[in-house]
Amino acid sequence: MNRILTTEIWHEAKKLAHTASGRKLAIAYVTADHIGLRSGDLLVADASPRAIRSGQTDAKLLAKLHKAGVIIHSREGLHSKVMLIGKYVVVGSANMSGSGLTDAAVLSDEPTIRSGVASFIAQLCTKKSRLDRDDIAALCKIEVVRTGWPKGKPKKPIRIRRLGNATWIVGVYSLKRAPTEDEQKRIDRATSDINEKLGAEAEEYDWIRWGKKGKFAKECRVGDTLIQVFNPKNGKGRAITRRRAVLLKRTEPNWIRIYISDETRDSREVGWQRFQRILRAAGYPRKVQSGSVQRLETEMARTIDRRWTRVK
């Protein structure tokens, strides 16, 4: 689904947020909570002293949200207006404020766009960017002189890695042995990094260990979407899930390790036979086996995703 929103941007966003499993926003300037952020939600905004001083972002609102359990990050120079609300994304021009300007946005549930937004937000969040109670208390002491657009340039530009936009079918297998002590340390560091970025406490993330050679290892990017074919050790009960976003890609001495988003309600796990029926219904021309690695054409990826819940 793709829709253009204009005057109803916040009405639609609030309606989606009411039943969504989670909400992650990267919106430059915030002076009002238009969607009802809750504990565990994530907000990235420009909460720099210059943005607070000019009245573009409201420190008192940030304090209220933080007290309610919202994880808040500040990135000076942020200009994005994107929201990840459950399985939907909203990408547009609207700050979360009462500016009264005429804005427009795209509402979409396209897997590739959702994965890209999820990865973009994850890249914005760092240990240094997360605001704690003392940080926000200091911002609340800044005298606000409403001058509109903040004066001056940000201290440092925000560096974002190029995001992927591909969809892959990837067959993976259970490892025959547990990770070595050295590997586990790297996994723990990566997991801690993702948790810090996304505001989770002690979540674990699925990962794929891959050799350094081959198309997938070289071309898979943060922001790509995976249709994962998981093959258990006994070879029975293959589970196929969709819409798994690539959150992090790390190079190790002997491997590439790719960390992917958790399964959600819209991942919709299916069995092997049903997956084959989905591919046939979508008109997919290639044979897919348990260990296949195939990059999909954009339109075919959309067609397969649309067939996912329709084929029994």
Report the largest interatomic distance among the alpha carbons of the chain, rounded to a whole angstrom.
Answer: 66
Q: In degrees to the nearest 10, what's the CA dihedral of 20, 21, 24, 29?
A: 40
pLDDT the model gives residue 86: 86
| Structural tokens at position 312 | 């029994």
DSSP structural state of residue 179: P
pLDDT digits (tens, 9 = 90+) for 71-124: 999 999 899 999 999 889 999 998 998 767 778 899 998 888 888 898 888 888
What integer is the mean pLDDT of 265-281? 90
Give how far Cα 236 sits from Cα of 29, 112, 173, 207, 294, Å. 51, 30, 12, 21, 22
Angstrom distance (rounded) from CA 263 to CA 260: 9
pLDDT the model gives residue 123: 84
For residue 290, pLDDT over 60 is answered with yes
pLDDT digits (tens, 9 = 90+) for 24-33: 999 999 999 9
pLDDT digits (tens, 9 = 90+) for 124-147: 888 889 999 999 999 999 998 876
pLDDT digits (tens, 9 = 90+) for 69-80: 999 999 998 999
pLDDT the model gives residue 112: 85
For residue 154, pLDDT over 70 is answered with no
Give the chain's mean pLDDT.
87
pLDDT the model gives residue 237: 82
Neighbours of 202 (CB within 10 A): 7
pLDDT the model gives residue 64: 96
Closest CA to 243 of 219, 264, 274, 270: 264
pLDDT the model gives residue 7: 81
Strand order in the sheet with 88-92: 2-5, 105-108, 88-92, 81-85, 23-27, 42-45, 71-74
Type of residue numbered 75? R
**More confident of the two residues 202 and 130:** 130
- Assess contact for 116 and 8: CB atoms under 8 A: no
Neighbours of 235 (CB within 10 A): 10
pLDDT the model gives residue 80: 92
Torsion sign across C-alpha atoms 232, 236, 240, 241:
negative
What integer is the mean pLDDT of 179-200? 77
**More confident of the two residues 152 and 233:** 233
Confidence class for position 49, pLDDT limits 50, 70, 90: very high
Confidence class for position 200, pLDDT limits 50, 70, 90: low
